[in-house]
């Protein structure tokens, strides 16, 4: 017992007096403080550069961002687990754990909290090392005292009809609503698995085209699904699916915006990419898809997947099989309704029981001459929500790179928020507050631009 390994930590503190009492409690514990700072970036840099084993972090330090916790835990060189150091009366500890912290101690420091800090830091280091060896990571949000329980989910948005079936629109708005601080505030990953062409990144304002980046000032993407598949393919024969780890996947995702916990795996930028040799090995691509989803499921509370129409293509099939729920988006046109209805029998053949498949009537207006009742009757899946037709709101949102779920107070935004509330029951309360929520949000958006 006395031969416990010495641990080196970095500390982010708010009150100097707290730091002093911490030092007293750590004396003789085998834990040494390498650096202490009141600035989050300093803590982060020191943790990496000084090769700390762990960080004790007070979220009140300036520049604190919750994503730091995961960034440290998944750091390529070595994991640096974070233990929170929070006010006893706050909800910060739970919030930090929701972002991957390994536990928390509360202020003010007393002997009990001092002992707990020693114990938690040691456990955190062991757990992070174990996770890194196993190639997994745990960032399961714990239901906080302020939030009600929610259910972690993989949600695939799909419909067999092509072009304009609003799959991508729904996937993007759903992912943004689940993750944005003003709404769901859950760690969420959007996977663009459309094997014909990806455009979720364009809706979110990114580009893979250097000219567009220069001309419009849009953030340029460096990597995405194509690079992931091609990179994996070269090593697949040796390593198989075990080479897909959280650390690896982190290199291919991009954070959408600081006010959301949304990471995007950008899809195929250019149409010819789907024809690359690597994509022709269907079995390999299917296995890659399954494994990527499983690893992402460990890293995020929600994984939303956008796919193309053909359910036999390997990434589409992987997404449909792995999903806890498949949202089938059907607009009120007979071609779409008939395509969806005709797909039910083959779907049963491929995927068995269809209880995971739910209908979303989309782009709906009774003016188009087809009733909701007819659509539901024909497709035969239970309907979760109807999203009304509003071309102005939908197209403006795409052109301004701002998903309408964050800005539209009308029926379109409301319908998607209603859908999101089925996954996060606490949003029902937020939605009731309605206007207040969105006016607060608009201030946030103005501040950003």
Supply the DSSP symbol for 275: G
Interface of this chain with ligand ATP, residues 265 to 284, rule: CB under 6 A? none
Residues 389, 413, 417, 424: which binds ligand ATP (CB under 6 A)? Answer: 389
- Pick the closest to residue 297 from 365, 362, 244 (CA basis): 244
Token pair 């995961």 in the structure block, residue: 70
Q: Does 313 bind Mg ion (CB under 5 A)?
A: no
Site stretch for ligand ATP (CB under 6 A), options 1-9, 30-38, 234-242, 394-402: 394-402
Token pair 């990597």 in the structure block, residue: 223
CB 402 to ligand ATP: min, Å:
13
In the bound state with ligand ATP, the residue whose beta carbon lies nearer, of 389 and 430, is 389
Q: Does 156 bind ligand ATP (CB under 6 A)?
A: no
Q: Does 120 bind ligand ATP (CB under 6 A)?
A: no
Answer with the entry of Mg ion, ligand ATP, none that 363 interacts with (C-beta below 5 to 8 A by kind). ligand ATP
Tokens of 196: 């014909």
Answer with the entry of ligand ATP, Mg ion, none that 266 interacts with (C-beta below 5 to 8 A by kind). none
Residues 60, 106, 156, 166: which binds ligand ATP (CB under 6 A)? Answer: 166
Residues 398, 406, 416, 421: which binds ligand ATP (CB under 6 A)? Answer: 398
Q: Does 362 bind Mg ion (CB under 5 A)?
A: no
Interface of this chain with ligand ATP, residues 406 to 435, rule: CB under 6 A? 412
First vs last C-alpha separation in the chain: 56
Site stretch for Mg ion (CB under 5 A), options 168-176, 177-185, 255-263, 372-380: 168-176
Alpha helices, DSSP H, located in 135-276: 167-179, 200-203, 210-216, 225-239, 246-250
Supply the DSSP symbol for 243: G
Q: Does 358 bind ligand ATP (CB under 6 A)?
A: no
Q: Does 169 bind ligand ATP (CB under 6 A)?
A: yes
In the bound state with ligand ATP, the residue whose beta carbon lies nearer, of 292 and 330, is 330
CB 210 to ligand ATP: min, Å:
23
Site stretch for Mg ion (CB under 5 A), options 34-42, 165-173, 354-362, 420-428: 165-173
Site stretch for ligand ATP (CB under 6 A), options 123-131, 157-165, 206-214, 441-449: 157-165
Residues 51, 110, 126, 395: which binds ligand ATP (CB under 6 A)? Answer: 395
Across the chain, which distance is largest between two alpha carbons, in Å?
79
**CB neighbours (10 Å) of residue 123?**
15
Those residues with Cβ within 8 angstroms of residue 279's Cβ, 6 or more apart along the chain or in another chain: 195, 229, 273, 285
CB 356 to ligand ATP: min, Å:
20
Site stretch for ligand ATP (CB under 6 A), options 75-83, 162-170, 212-220, 292-300: 162-170
Q: Does 202 bind ligand ATP (CB under 6 A)?
A: no
- Pick the closest to residue 303 from 322, 331, 278, 284 (CA basis): 322
CA 339 – CA 329 distance, rounded (Å): 11
Let me know: does 200 contact 266? Beta carbons within 8 Å: yes
Those residues with Cβ within 8 angstroms of residue 361's Cβ, 6 or more apart along the chain or in another chain: 330, 331, 332, 372, 375, 376, 383, 385, 386, 387
In the bound state with Mg ion, the residue whose beta carbon lies nearer, of 168 and 362, is 168
Site stretch for ligand ATP (CB under 6 A), options 54-62, 96-104, 268-276, 392-400: 392-400
Let me know: does 418 contact 432? Beta carbons within 8 Å: no
DSSP for 19-45, written as a single string: HHHHHHHHTTTTEEEEEEESBHHHHHH
In the bound state with Mg ion, the residue whose beta carbon lies nearer, of 122 and 161, is 161
Q: Does 161 bind Mg ion (CB under 5 A)?
A: no
- Pick the closest to residue 344 from 360, 357, 331 (CA basis): 357
In the bound state with Mg ion, the residue whose beta carbon lies nearer, of 116 and 161, is 161
Tokens of 198: 């990806």
Q: Does 167 bind Mg ion (CB under 5 A)?
A: yes
Q: Does 186 bind ligand ATP (CB under 6 A)?
A: no
Tokens of 110: 């007393």
Please count the helices (runs of H) and the strands (runs of E) in the chain: 20, 13
CB 241 to ligand ATP: min, Å:
27
- Pick the closest to residue 249 from 180, 172, 199, 189 (CA basis): 189
Backbone angles phi, psi at 219, to 5 degrees: -60, 135
Answer with the entry of ligand ATP, Mg ion, none that 387 interacts with (C-beta below 5 to 8 A by kind). ligand ATP
Write out the residues near Mg ion by the rule CB under 5 A: 167-168
């Amino acid at each position: 017992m006395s031969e416990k390994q010495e641990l080196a930590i970095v500390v982010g503190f708010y009150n100097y007096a707290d730091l002093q009492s911490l030092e007293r409690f750590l004396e003789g514990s085998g834990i040494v403080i390498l650096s202490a700072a009141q600035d989050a970036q300093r803590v982060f840099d020191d943790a990496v550069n000084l090769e700390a084993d762990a960080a004790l972090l007070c979220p009140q330090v300036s520049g604190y961002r919750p994503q730091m916790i995961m960034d440290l835990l998944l750091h390529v060189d070595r994991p640096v687990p974070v233990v929170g150091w929070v006010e006893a009366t706050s909800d910060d500890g739970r919030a930090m754990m929701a972002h991957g912290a390994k536990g928390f101690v509360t202020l003010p420091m007393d002997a009990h909290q001092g002992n707990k800090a020693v114990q938690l830091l040691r456990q955190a280091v062991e757990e992070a090392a174990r996770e890194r060896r196993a190639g997994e990571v745990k960032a399961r949000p714990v239901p906080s005292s302020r939030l009600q329980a929610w259910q972690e989910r993989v949600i695939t948005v799909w419909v067999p009809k092509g072009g304009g079936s609003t799959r991508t629109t729904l996937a993007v708005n759903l992912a943004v609503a689940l993750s944005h601080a003003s709404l769901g505030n859950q760690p969420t990953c959007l996977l663009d698995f459309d094997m014909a062409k990806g455009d979720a990144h364009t809706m979110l304002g990114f580009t893979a085209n250097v000219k567009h980046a220069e001309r419009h000032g849009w953030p340029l993407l460096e990597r995405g699904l194509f690079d992931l598949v091609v990179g994996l393919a070269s090593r697949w024969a040796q390593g198989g699916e075990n080479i897909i780890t959280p650390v690896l996947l982190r290199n291919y995702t991009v954070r959408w915006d600081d006010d959301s916990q949304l990471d995007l795996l950008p899809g195929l930028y250019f149409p010819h990419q789907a024809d690359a040799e690597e994509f022709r090995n269907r079995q390999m691509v299917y296995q890659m898809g399954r494994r990527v989803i499983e690893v992402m499921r460990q890293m995020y509370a929600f994984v939303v997947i956008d796919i193309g129409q053909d359910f036999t293509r390997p990434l589409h099939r992987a997404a449909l099989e792995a999903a806890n729920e498949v949202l089938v988006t059907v607009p009120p046109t007979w071609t779409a309704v008939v395509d969806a209805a005709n797909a039910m029998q083959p779907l049963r053949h491929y995927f068995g029981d269809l209880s995971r498949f739910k209908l979303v009537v989309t782009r709906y207006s009774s003016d188009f001459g087809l009733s909701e009742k007819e659509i539901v009757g024909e497709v035969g899946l239970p309907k979760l929500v109807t999203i009304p037709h509003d071309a102005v709101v939908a197209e403006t949102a795409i052109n301004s790179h701002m998903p309408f779920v964050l800005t539209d107070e009308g029926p379109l935004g409301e319908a998607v928020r209603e859908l999101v509330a089925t996954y996060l029951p606490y949003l029902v309360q937020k939605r009731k507050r309605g206007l207040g929520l969105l006016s607060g949000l608009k201030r946030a958006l103005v501040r950003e631009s």
